[in-house]
Amino acid sequence: MYVSPINRDSLYSHLILNDQPNNLSFSSAPGSNFFNRTTRMESFVINGDTVIDLKVSQLIVLNLNLPPQTSSSFFSSNLTANLAAILRVSSDKIRRANIISVNNNSRIRRQLSTVTLSVEIRNDPVANISTNVSTQTNPISNICSAIINRYQSGELLQAWSNKPAAGNRAPIDLNVQEPRNASSTLLSIIYRIELVTSPSSCREQSPCSIQPTLVAHDIDGDVIKILASNDQP
């Protein structure tokens, strides 16, 4: 039987966790649990007959630095819908979207160098331990791969620039924390692809003895060392 964390926000049909104190006690029912989003620690209440099966939902965290002039309408109640349309993600998978280091005062917003938008994307946890977890995690891996590929190809920035609600301004950069990763990676956009090794000793229906080597460069001419996602390089 699935037991939701006690800090689950009851206003949502899908799982949203509130940042609140841990109110678990010895009088709480066995199986009661609390997840601290900051420390990433899970707490349980158990007794002698309790068996805990912990299943972790895969998570994508996007941190986007946006121009401070981005339209305030983008950060209104339509924020989730706007993000879902740009990222091509179902809105129910966007679990949290926080605006960091920005003030509701438009004058202060204009004075800031950037506006940081943090977005969390994941599935709901499985309700039955017999459910095949891979069927739940694969779509998240696919979503992560698609977002990274679209960003590094420039397609995602173009889609953002074409969004009137975003003031037709694209993000300055994007950091991605991929599923099963504890740290985030700053992505680069491909500006130029260079063929550094040409294929040779090729025969029909056989691989070339010397395979071609391609190198991607960013707009500054630096070699891009990280391309695509970890699961789907």
d(CA 194, CA 216): 6
**Whole-structure pTM value:** 0.77
Q: What is the mean pLDDT of the chain?
A: 84
Band of pLDDT at residue 104, cut at 50, 70 and 90: very low
d(CA 33, CA 12): 18
Kindly report, residue by residue over 170-179, the tens digit of the pLDDT: 899 999 999 8
CA distance 75 to 107: 15
Neighbours of 193 (CB within 10 A): 10
pLDDT of 22 > 80? The answer is yes
Which of 11, 31, 8, 196 minimizes the C-alpha distance to 129? 31
Q: Are 162 and 66 in contact (CB under 8 A)?
A: no
Which residue ranges make up each domain of the chain?
Answer: 1-54, 59-186
pLDDT, tens digit, 9 for 90 and up, residues 123-152: 877 666 665 555 555 589 999 999 999 999
pLDDT in tens, 1-21: 788 889 888 887 777 888 899
Tell me: the pLDDT tens digits for 35-71? 988 888 899 998 887 788 877 778 899 999 988 766 6
